[in-house]
């Protein structure tokens, strides 16, 4: 799992950069007469960030379950081999 840390770090940096750029874009659009208030966009961004955090937690949970199942499969295969001998 430590091998994935640099990728996660890069993804987090990209997300922050993207969010900053998006915030800047929404402010610029509003100052030039955009029809959506910046507070509505900010609320939507926060909402999406919360959803993203939940999805990431779910992905971590599913990855853990997958690893546990793979370990169990490996142990069962070893047991089958022993029984076959």
Tokens 């955090």, located at residue: 53
CA of residue 1 relative to chain centroid, distance: 15
pTM value is 0.51
Residue-wise pLDDT tens digits, 7-54: 455 555 555 555 555 555 555 555 555 567 889 999 999 999 999 999
What are the CA-CA distances from residue 47 to residues 5, 25, 34, 43, 50 (Å)?
A: 26, 18, 21, 6, 5
Gap between the terminal Cα atoms of the chain: 35
Neighbours of 26 (CB within 10 A): 19
């Amino acid at each position: 799992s430590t091998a994935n840390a640099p990728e996660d770090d890069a993804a987090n940096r990209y997300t922050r950069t993207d969010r900053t750029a998006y915030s800047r874009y929404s402010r610029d659009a509003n100052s030039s007469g955009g029809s959506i208030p910046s507070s509505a966009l900010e609320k939507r961004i926060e909402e999406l960030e919360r959803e993203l955090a939940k999805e990431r937690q779910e992905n971590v949970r599913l990855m853990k379950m997958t690893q546990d199942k793979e370990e169990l499969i490996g142990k069962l295969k070893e047991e089958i081999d022993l029984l076959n001998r």
